[in-house]
Amino acid sequence: MQVIENLKVKEKAYIEKLENGLTIIVIPKQDTQKKYAIFGTNFGSIDNNFVVPGNTKPTKIPDGVAHFLEHKLFEQENGTNSLDVLSALGVDANAYTTNDHTAYLFEATDNFNEALDELMNYVQNPYFTDENVEKEKGIIGQEINMYEDEPSWQVYMNAMKLMYKENPINVDIAGTIESISKINKETLYEVYNTFYNLSNMLLVVCGDFVPEEIIKEIKNRITKNDTQIEIQRIYPNEQEEIVKKEETKIMEVNNPIFEIGFKDKLCEKKDMVKKHIAIEIILYMLLGKSSKTYKKLYEQGDIMSQPDLDYEFSKQYAHVLISGIARNPQNVVKELKTAIEEYKKCGLNEEDFNRIKKKIYGDYITEYNDVSNIARMFLADYFKGINSFDYLEEYSQVSLQYANQILKDVFKEEKMVVSIVKGA
């Protein structure tokens, strides 16, 4: 068993890779009532082209299969739904699909072992029939239609389409009505047997556990007899350039909403964390509540609250996102461009840089107060090839000079897109 420790937060992570390939991470949190388990697979919406192990020709699956499969795993052969079973145990259970992974989870104060039974049972035992697959198409079709009417989702998806020409991140995670119509039980079993191989999966538990004991409990619940495999994923060659600068969509909204994006280059795994930290600092310096640009926009009545500031990245995509509500999104764009150019010309203010850097470090520390935050963070970072403790270690390596260089490299006007949704 490998043990990694971070003295800054006084936390340890116990990592064990089983003979069948499954990796287990245990983060003990003594004297906490809540316990959290999350079982994930390195398979998301963008993994729609791959070579099935043992085959030579690529398999192209319809958009939306990862999300469809997530929905279907809860349905059991005995007629029960695992979400209902878990709810009856008094635990808070859920699942989600992202662009690069799928996860099944629960949080419990009592009945943890019984909930773990159910989690590991339904994830390891899929049950697909022609009938239940057809039924699910109607349910997911309603969900797709609902998101088509959701302004905040549409402004995000339009930003993806403005930035990416080939990468399937520009397609809704749930797919389209047309794409899910092509899904059948054979597709689901083929995908499940490829990507839900234990060697492609991770189980993270966080709470008041003795690592050796909980790992033994997990081992006792493994029923699959997988042979470790290497999955050959095929991704399109994405251009560095954006597709289009701007798009405005008319929907029923009280005030316009916007999504500003900067398409970024993929970077080496060793640089991902340091770069992420630098971009977070830059974003708060540009449009955080204490920034002069935000104060000016707020006082002018152009913006209602601090925008959401984010950097999304994986092994296949990377982009900055700034999203919010504004009476005049074009003014936000204009002032943002001015602030970026001013910082590029004069450099980031050292005092502001140090203050925001400390704030972000405090945010990282705070994340370790919650078992759900810890477990989900370790899972998502693991599939990116990152150790979550690296954020606390790399923090000190982010210098003002480095941040100024990242500002110049990432926040380029030719890589900037603007997606707006406004009323008629």
- The amino acid sitting at 346 is C
Structural contact between residues 315 and 266, judged by C-beta atoms closer than 8 angstroms: yes
Percent of the chain with pLDDT over 90: 90
Write down the catalytic residue from 70, 136, 259, 280: 70
Q: What's the CATH superfamily of 2-233?
A: Metalloenzyme, LuxS/M16 peptidase-like (3.30.830.10)
Residue 279 has pLDDT above 90, yes or no: yes
For the chain, the average pLDDT equals 94
Q: What's the CATH superfamily of 246-422?
A: Metalloenzyme, LuxS/M16 peptidase-like (3.30.830.10)
CA quadruple 414, 416, 417, 423: dihedral, nearest 10: -120
What phi, psi does 357 have (nearest 5°)? -60, -45
Q: Catalytic annotation on 70?
A: yes
Residue 160 has pLDDT above 90, yes or no: yes
Residue 54 has pLDDT above 90, yes or no: no
Residue ranges, CATH 3.30.830.10, the chain: 2-233, 246-422
Helix (H, G, I), strand (E, B) or coil at 103: strand
CA nearest neighbour of 421 among 252, 242, 176: 252
> How many residues are present in the chain?
424
- The amino acid sitting at 120 is M
Mean pLDDT of 406-424: 96
Determine the Cα–Cα distance for residues 263 and 288; give it in Å rounded to an integer. 20
Q: What is the pTM of this model?
A: 0.93
Residue 7 has pLDDT above 90, yes or no: no
Sign of CA dihedral 284, 290, 296, 300: positive
